[in-house]
Amino acid sequence: MEEFLASSEIIDYTHPNVSAKARELAAGCNSDTEIARQCFEFVRDAIRHTGDAGEGITTLKASEVLEQGSGWCYAKSHLLAALLRANKIPAALCYQRLSCSEYTQDIYCLHGLNAVYLKEYGWYRLDARGNKEGVDAQFDPPHEKLAFQLGEKEYDLPQRYEKPLEVVVNALKERKNYAEMIGHFPDIEDPS
């Protein structure tokens, strides 16, 4: 589990603002599950999804997402992992390959979400991308209520990752804003 508790350049929970927010969200909670719910709901509801906003700079590090108050699904998953790990709760990054036709017709892209290790339930996936019409992600362990139902040619990548995929990091570094990211989302065709 150690790799899922580590701080890194991107999941930078040692940053003073991230660690302070993690402590604030955990205040008054009596279990890891309560802390995880608080962290999840904060990232889902208080951090804008760049695609839904239709504007904004591209954030990568957890501290940048917190500072800017926005991020693509991948960046939001980095912040959620950082808040959970700062509270000594193992957190992983997960990915799905989905149709991105909402932005550009006939393309597929990766979608970033998380898994958290809860003592009562084991590994549990959660998706803090942000709710909107047609998207209703919830925290209801052990039942998963993710942002998207998989459709034709869509699938879950089978692993839990301790750090972001390189293709995701490169896209977030290279595409500086909303307009640059549209049509150039990170993708891999073979998860193996």
Please report whether residue 158 resides in a domain: yes
Q: What is the pLDDT of residue 101?
A: 80
Instruction: Show the domain range for 105.
Output: 2-181
Q: Is residue 14 part of a domain?
A: yes
Q: Is residue 191 part of a domain?
A: no
**What pLDDT is stored for residue 103 in this prediction?**
77
Instruction: Confirm whether 171 is domain-assigned.
Output: yes
Decide if 37 is inside a domain. Answer: yes
Q: What is the pLDDT of residue 107?
A: 87
Residue 186 domain flag: no
pTM above 0.85, yes or no: yes
Predicted pLDDT of residue 52: 93
* Residue 83 binned pLDDT confidence (cut-offs 50, 70, 90): very high
Please compute the mean of the pLDDT values over residues 105-109 and round it to a whole number.
87
Tell me the CATH number at 155: 3.10.620.30
**Residue 152, amino acid:** E
pLDDT of residue 7: 97
- Residue 74 CA to residue 169 CA, distance in Å, equals 9
Residues 106 and 192: their CA atoms lie apart, in Å, by 23
Domain-located, residue 147: yes
Above 60 in pLDDT, residue 192?
no
Contacts of 100 (CB under 8 A, 6+ apart): 107, 108, 109, 185
pLDDT of 31-80, one tens digit each? 999 999 999 999 999 999 999 999 989 999 999 999 999 999 999 999 99
Q: Residue 191 — pLDDT band, cuts 50, 70, 90? A: low
Domains in the chain, number: 1
Evaluate whether residue 192 is within a structural domain: no
Q: How far apart are CA 72 and CA 62, in angstroms?
A: 12
Confidence of residue 102 (pLDDT cuts 50, 70, 90): confident
